Chain A
Amino acid sequence: MAKLVLSSAGSIVQQCFVDREVVTIGRQPDNALVVDDPAVNAKHATVFPVGNDHILEDLQSDGGTLVNGARISRHILQHGDVIQLGSFYLRYLNPRAASEVDLERTMLIEGLRDPSESVPARDAPRARRANVRLPSGQVRVIRGARAGETVVLDRVIATFGKPGEQVAVITRRPHGYFVTHVEGRRHPRVNGQSIGLEARALRHGDRIDVGDETLELVLD
């Protein structure tokens, strides 16, 4: 179960478990969490549950609600978030939400919308931000029509060569760049040697022949 811990000047003022009920936050004593600070509105913010999430909403307060230093109007709380209300700090603790894998199991739940209603045109949920470090580098074209140009390798793949004749792909992965044959009868060469059909790890300074071009990998 998740917990909200209110503290002021380094000491804990109040704790409150959050599960399926709405938690009201404000200066007034009838709030679930009472924040006795003149900078805090009588009804300042709420925390409400949606599925596995707790969503913090600022109730258009005068002083605003800050999460980890940034002002929010609505925010999906993350384990360890620090909410600032006037001179008070409110910490959200939810160890269950911190362990990624446990929540990955697909489960059935009641929807929020009436399925027969027409569907508004909104974007689909985005992929989550990946927590990985990726290499950064580029290739210098040292032979061919584009000689002298550089191509920055800042996307998941970059393709090189002539479509229909010979194409190779350079793939950016957490442990480095790789080159792989895509199409054509000839396979790309790295430092003069054909790479066949396997992905080949690239090192700084490697020279790749594909199509009419020779490329040199430069790692930052």
Chain B
Amino acid sequence: MSRRFIEIAALTDAGSVRQFNEDSIVADPDLGVAVLADGMGGHRAGEVASRMAAQVMFDRLHAHITGFRSTAGPHSSLQAVDESINRANRAVFDAARAQSSYHGMGTTLAVTLFYDNRVALGHIGDSRIYRLRDGVLTLLTRDDSLLRDEIDLGLISAEDAGESHNRSLVTRALGIEERVRAHLTEDDARGGDIYLLCSDGLSDLVDEADIELIVGGLQPNLPLAASHLVQAAKDNGGYDNVSVILAKVLQPFSAASQQRWTLRWFGWLHGTGR
């Protein structure tokens, strides 16, 4: 039972100002799945969009992993993430078309799938994925946001972005069109690595040096690290909903060992194995 590959701590909070929380998070360490979505749309439709996207993502990824573990490889976790994103996009898009109060709703997305010593990363919008390795925090995603474009075009500097009022303007979202292009990448996941998925309620209010310090310093206690991140965002104003998922790689997790682990767990359930 102690053969967990991934440890996960996840936390979402409405923040200090907003009444509602339009972020949604779903995570499962046994599956190696973490999904975070930051919804948008009037009349609390953002809540609906983010919850629907996170749930469809999770259900689809669950089905993919179950397939991976019961059949011989090779399996592409990137393809699984891509297919899941398309299904989630379609679900939100269809719901938005079916009900007028949901019209125009959409959501950002950040997703990680840990499989076979690698992690498949997917994202849309301004939710981010970071990795802490050897004490150094690295941003692995590029925001789909107006600010990011402004910086890339040299209109403003990354530092000036702190003074901008364009912080919540995203240039791509899930559920808005019939199809969505997600950003998909893969990374080697090493023992000790910590992946952080977060909504802009964190990255807009807590600078990267402080995120690095909190995740690095409190990593022996992942839930405490997660609550400190949320608390730091709220202490700095907490203007937006804030969500974080920390996923720590505890040990190598080759496909073979994951399969064995699942089988042993299954056998134990049925009283045949140990």
Contact = CB atoms under 8 A, between A and B. Distances in A.
Nearest to A156: B210
A125 B145 contact: yes
Contacts of A53: 164-166
A123 B158 contact: yes
Given A50-B155, A127-B208, A128-B163, A156 B144 contact: no
Contacts of A155: 210, 213
How large, as a class, is the contact surface on chain B? 35 or more
Nearest to A110: B171
B4 to A, nearest CB: 17
Interface stretch (B53-61, B188-196, B198-206, B247-255): B198-206
Contacts of B239: 100-101, 104
A104 B232 CA distance: 18
A115 interface: yes
Interface stretch (A9-17, A29-37, A169-177, A209-217): A169-177
B128 to A, nearest CB: 8
B149 A107 contact: no
A115 B172 CA distance: 10
B203 A127 contact: yes
B160 A76 contact: yes
B228 A132 contact: no
Interface stretch (B6-14, B70-78, B218-226): B218-226
Contacts of B173: 108
A185 interface: no
Contacts, number: 180
A173 B237 contact: no
A55 B155 contact: yes
B231 interface: yes
Q: Which of B128, B164, B213 has the most CB of A within 10 A?
A: B164
Q: Which of A78, A103, A126 has the most CB of B within 10 A?
A: A126
B240 interface: yes
A107 B220 contact: no
Nearest to A103: B165
A145 interface: no
Given A50-B166, A132-B236, A182 B207 contact: no
Given A105-B40, A113-B152, A113-B153, A183 B220 contact: yes
Interface residues of A, number: 52
Interface in B117-164: 125-126, 128, 139, 142-153, 155-156, 158-164
Contacts of A127: 162, 203-208, 236
A104 B205 contact: no
Contacts of A50: 146, 150, 155, 166
A173 B236 CA distance: 9
Nearest to A96: B165
A104 B236 contact: no
Contacts of A120: 152
B139 A124 contact: yes
Given A128-B167, A155-B213, A156-B232, A182 B158 contact: no
B169 interface: yes
Interface string A145-185: 00000000001111100011001010101100000101100
Listed from nearest, the 6 A-B pairs whose CB atoms lie closest are A111-B171, A125-B161, A123-B158, A130-B236, A51-B166, A112-B149
Given A111-B149, A112-B149, A127-B236, 14 more contacts: A53-B164, A53-B165, A53-B166, A104-B168, A104-B240, A106-B108, A107-B169, A108-B40, A108-B172, A110-B171, A124-B148, A159-B217, A169-B218, A182-B221
Interface of B: 17-18, 22, 38-40, 46, 106, 108, 125-126, 128, 139, 142-153, 155-156, 158-173, 176, 181, 200, 203-208, 210, 213-214, 217-218, 220-221, 224, 228, 231-232, 235-237, 239-240
